[in-house]
Amino acid sequence: MKILVIAMAGIGDALLATPLIHELRANFPGATIDALVLWAGSKDLLEKNPHLNRVHQKNLISCGRFEGLRFLWLLRRNRYDVSINTHPQPRIHYRIAARIVGAPLRISHEYECFFWLDRKLVNKVLPQDYSRHSIENNFEVLPLLGGKVKLPSHEIEIFLTPDEEKWADEFLAKNKLARQKILGVHVGSGGTKNLSLKRWPLKNHAGLIRRFNKERPDIRVLLFGGPEEAKDHQIVLAQANPDLTMKAMTQNLRQTAALIKRCSAFLSVDTALMHIAAAMKTPNQIDLEAPTLNTTNLPYGNPYTLIRNPVIAGRNLDYYRYDGGDIKGTREELLACMASIRVEDVFQAVTKLI
C-alpha cells in the first residue's frame, strides 16, 4: 500500500498529523507512507520521522500555478493508493491537490465550506467534531483503511538528532544560560489570512519582560521566532535588560525545538511553537487564549496553563471555525480582544510556576 498524508495547512497542523502517521505505520508496517506539506518549516519538523518514507514540500501559494501543477502531476506518478487530507484543512485547494495526485481513495473531513465540487474532489468524507482534538479527528481515518488505533498512547512527535541536542546545550553554555531558569516567549503568530490579529499586543510583551527583568532577575527571557518577528524582537530588546533577555539565534525549527525543550517555561498563543513546546514536553507551558484556540488545537500530551481571555468568554467558535475564512470581527475588535489579557495576570501565572 502507498499512502500520501496531505498536511498542507499550518506548520502546527502538520505536527498534529504525526500521531496519525505513527498509527498508520503501526497498522501497515510494510506500506510506503509519504507526507505532502506546504511550508518548509513543516518539512523541517517532519524530517527524521522514522514512520515516514519521504516528505514532499512545495509552497503552492508562491510558486506559481504552472509550477504547482507540474509538481503535483509528478507526484501522481507515484501512484498512491490512498491520500489523507488531515484535520484541519478546510480550504478547497487542499482537496484539489489530492484530486490531481489522483489516489483512488481520497479521504477528507467535511467542513462548513463544503459544496458539490468538494465532494467530487474526494470520495470518502468524515464528519469533523469540534469537541475532539484534531489528533482524535484524524484517527477516524483508520477504520476506512481497515485499521484501528493500536498504540497505547499518543504524542506529537519531533525526532531530534544527537547533533541538534548537542547544539542546544552548547548554545546555553555559550550564552551562560545553562542551569538558569529560562522563560521562552514567542511574540508572533501565523501570517496568513488575518491570523496576525491573534497576537498579544507587543507593548504587553515588552511590559511583561521589563517586569520580569526587574522583579525576577533569577529568570532569563529567551525570545523565539523567525525573520517575521525580527522587528518585534528589536522593539522588545530595546526596552529590556540585555543581561537578562536575548533572542534565540536558531537557524531552523529543529534547533528551535531543541532550545524550547530546555526552557523552564514557555509562553505563546496557539502557534506552531505552542505545538513544538507540547512535543518537547516543555514544563510550565503557558498559553494565552486567542480567538482561534478551541478543543481541536489545544496543546496535546503536555500539561499547560491557559490564561483566559475575558472577551472571548467561551465563544471561541463564534470567532473562528474551520470554514476557510478569517477570524470573525473587525481589526479593532480583535486587537481589543487580545489586549484584554492583562500583563498582571500573565506575570502572576508565570511567577507561580517558576
Instruction: Write down the domain spans for the chain.
Output: 2-145, 162-353
Helix (H, G, I), strand (E, B) or coil at 175: coil
Sheet holding 181-186, edge to edge: 245-247, 219-224, 181-186, 265-268, 285-288, 304-307
| pLDDT of res. 323 | 93
pLDDT score at 191: 75
Residue partners of 249: CB distance under 8 A and separation at least 6? 171
The answer to whether domain 2-145 has CATH 1.10.238.10 is no
Looking at residue 62, what is its pLDDT?
86
Q: What is the mean pLDDT of residues 217-236?
A: 95
- Which CATH architecture is the domain 162-353 placed in? 3-Layer(aba) Sandwich (3.40)
With 90 as the cut, is the pLDDT of residue 64 above it? no
Q: State how far the Cα of 342 lies from the Cα of 346, in Å rounded to an integer.
A: 7
Mean pLDDT for the chain?
Answer: 96
In this chain, the answer to whether the domains covering 2-145 and 162-353 adopt an identical fold is yes
What's the pLDDT score for residue 65? 86
Segment holding 245, helix H or strand E: strand 245-247
